[in-house]
Copies of this chain bind each other. A is one copy, B any other.
Amino acid sequence: MSSLPSSVTPLLLSIDHVGIAVPDLDAAIAFHRDVLGLTVVHEEVNEEQGVREAMVAVGGDPTGAQIQLIAPTGPDSTIAKFIDRSGPGLQQLAYRVADVEQVGAALRAAGLRLLYDEPRRGTAGSRINFVHPKDTGGVLIELVQPGGE
* Residues of chain A whose beta carbon lies under 8 Å from any beta carbon of chain B: 1-4, 9-15, 18, 20-22, 27-28, 31, 33-38, 58-59, 61, 64-67, 86-93, 95-96, 107, 110, 112, 133, 136-139
Contact = CB atoms under 8 A, between A and B. Distances in A.
Given A2-B34, A21-B138, A35-B110, 11 more contacts: A3-B35, A13-B59, A14-B59, A14-B65, A15-B15, A15-B18, A15-B67, A22-B137, A64-B65, A90-B92, A90-B139
Contacts of A64: 14-15, 64-65
B14 A137 contact: no
A137 B20 contact: yes
Contact of A107 (B2, B9, B35, B107): B35
B37 A12 contact: yes
Contact of A35 (B38, B95, B112, B133): B112
A1 to B, nearest CB: 8
A106 to B, nearest CB: 9
